[in-house]
Amino acid sequence: MVTLIYKLYRTGLLTPVGVSHLLQAVLMEGINLMTLLRVAAQLHPDRTALTDDRDRCTYRQLWQQSQSLAVALSIDYGIGRQQKVAIACRNHAAGIKAIFALSRLGAHIVLLNPEMSFDQLQAMLERLAIDFYIYDHPEESRIPEWLQQSWQQRQALPTYHATVTSIDQLSLRPHPQNRRLKTVKTGNIVVMTGGTTGQPKPATRKPSILNFLPPFVALLKQVHLDRYRSLYIATPIYHGFGLASLLIAVILGAQLYVTRRFQAEQACSLIANYHIEVVTLVPLMLQRMLNHDPGALVSLQCVLSGGAALSLTLAQATLNQLGPLIFNLYGTSEAGFCILATPALLSRKPASIGQPVWGVQAKIVDDQNNGVGHGKISRLCIRSAWSTQQKSWIETGDLAYQDSEGDIFLCGRVDDMIVSGGENVYPIDLENILLQHPDVDAAAVFGVPDLEFGQRLQAVVIKKQQARLSEALLRDWLRLRVARYQMPAVIEFRNELPYTALGKLDRKTLRG
C-alpha cells in the first residue's frame, strides 16, 4: 500500500494540488472521461499530450478542443445523455477528442472497426440502433446512399474533411463562453468482440473509478508505468486494449503517440525519432518490428503485448533482442484485462500468461463446472468487478492449465481442440513446435475431418525468406519432436497468414 501511495504521489494525482483539481473537475464536469482529461490538463497544461500523423497538441489544447466539440455536438446536433453514438475511425486526434466529448455529454459510445465494408457498417448500425455516426471519410469518392441521407439528416459526421463540417473542425471552433454543459455521468462504452470465429458481438462496460482502479493498480505496481513519460499506442483504440491504453496514458499525463495505420517501418522510425519508452501492441506488430529493425527499438523500456496470444518463440526473441522488458497482458472484450506475465516470469516460462492481477479471480473447470487440478487442461473462467457481467463467472472460450506455482498456460481455444484416434489434441502445441524450426517464420494449425481417426491436424506454414524447406524435410524434423497423433495429416506452405485488423489470426479465412 505504501508503494502504491508513493506511485500515485509521483504522478501528481495524490498530492494536495492533484486532489483539489480532481474535486473541482468532478464538480464542473461530472463523473466521466472528460474529468480525467481536465485533471491532466490542469496538472500538465503545457506538456505534449498527443502526436498523430497530422499534428500535435498539449494537454490544455486537447481538453479545450474536446470541450468545444462537446458543446458543438450538443448545440448543433442535439447529442446528449443516453443516445447511442458509433465511432468508426482509426487512431488519430479527432477520434480521441470525440471519445472524450461524447463521454462528457453522457452518450453511449459504440466503438466500431473502420475496416468493415459499408454494407457491414450499415447492418451493424441498424442492429445496434445507433442514433449518430462518426467515421473516417473514405478515400474513394463514392458514398453509399444511406450515408448521404445521414449527412442530410444531420445524423453523421466525418472525422476529417476538406469541405464539409467535420469533428476536427468543430473541435477547433471556439464555443460560447456563456454555454455551460450540465454535469453528467458517463454513458456506457461498447467495444466489439474480435469476431474471428463468429459474428462480432457488443461487450458493454460502464466506466467506473472503483472498477478501473484494480487494473490501474496492477499496471502501476507490476509494470511501473508511472516511471515513463512517452507511450505509442500501436493497437486500434476501437479495441478494448487500445482504449484502456489511451485512458491510462491520460491519467498518467504521458506523451501519447498514435498513427492511423500500423506499418513496421513507420513504427520503428517513430520510436527511434521520439525516443519512445513504452509501446502497446499485439504480437504480430512486435514480430514485424523485430524483423524490420530491432536496433530502432533501443529506447523502449516497456513492451505491453496483448490482444492475441504471445508465442513462446516471440517472447524468447524479444527477451534476447530487447532485454527483460516485455509484459504479456491477457484479457477478453467481456472480462477486460485480467492476467499478467512479467518479464521475470517470461524469462523462466515464456509460454505462460502469468497470474490474475489484484481484483481478478480465475479458475479452470471441466464440463460440469468443477475445478480441475494442476496440469489439467480445461476451460478458463474469469470473474472481476470490471467485467461486463461483474459478479458472474465469464467463459473466456480458452483452454488452459495451471502449474503448481499458480501460473497459467493457454492451450488454444475450446473450439480448436480436436479428438484424434481417442486422444485430445491441441493445435497450439504443434504451432509452438513448428515455430521452433529455424526456417519457419509463422505457422497455424487447425483440425480437419479424417475417416480413420475422426479428426487430424492440418498445418499452414510460412517459410522464412530464402529458406529451402520442403514438406519431407519438415516431417523428418517433426518426427523427433511430436507424438504420432500430433503429426499433421496435411502440411501446406503459403506466402502469408490471414489476420484481422486487430492482429489476430483469422481462422475463418484460414480454413477457407
Range list for CATH 3.30.300.30 in the chain: 417-511
Element housing 234 (H / E): none
Residue 321 is placed in which grid cell? 533482442
Torsion angle of alpha carbons 227, 232, 234, 235, nearest 10°?
Answer: 50
Instruction: Supply the pLDDT for residue 197.
Output: 46
Question: Mean pLDDT in each 10-residue stretch from start to end of the chain (512 residues)?
Answer: 73 86 89 93 97 96 96 94 95 98 96 89 92 86 82 90 93 78 86 62 64 75 91 93 91 96 96 98 95 97 93 95 97 84 97 92 92 94 74 88 96 90 90 95 93 92 93 95 93 93 85 80
The amino acid that residue 405 corresponds to is E
- Counts for the chain of helices (H) and strands (E), in that order: 17, 26
Choose among 324, 366, 363: nearest CA to 341: 324
* Intervals of CATH 3.40.50.980 along the chain: 2-187
The sheet carrying 108-111 orders its strands as 156-158, 132-135, 84-88, 108-111, 189-192, 202-205
DSSP H or E stretch at residue 325: none
Closest CA to 258 of 91, 136, 94: 91
Which amino acid, 64? Q
One-letter identity of residue 343: P
Q: What phi and psi values does residue 188 have, to the nearest 5 degrees?
A: -75, 155
Q: Which CATH architecture has domain 417-511?
A: 2-Layer Sandwich (3.30)
Question: Residues spanned by CATH 3.40.50.12780 within the chain?
Answer: 209-357
Q: What is the pLDDT of residue 456?
A: 95
Q: What is the pLDDT at residue 512? A: 74
Q: Which three cell numbers stand for residue 202?
A: 457488443
Length of the chain: 512
Q: In which region does residue 373 sit, left (phi positive, over 0), alpha (psi from -120 to 50) or beta (all else)?
A: beta
Q: What is the pLDDT of residue 469?
A: 95
The amino acid at 66: S
Whether 67 contacts 34, CB under 8 Å: yes
CATH class entry, domain 209-357: alpha beta
**pLDDT given for residue 262 in this prediction:** 95
Q: Which fold has domain 2-187?
A: Rossmann fold (3.40.50)
Between CA 229 and CA 47 the distance in angstroms is: 10
* 304 Cα distance to chain centroid: 10
Q: Does the pTM exceed 0.85?
A: yes
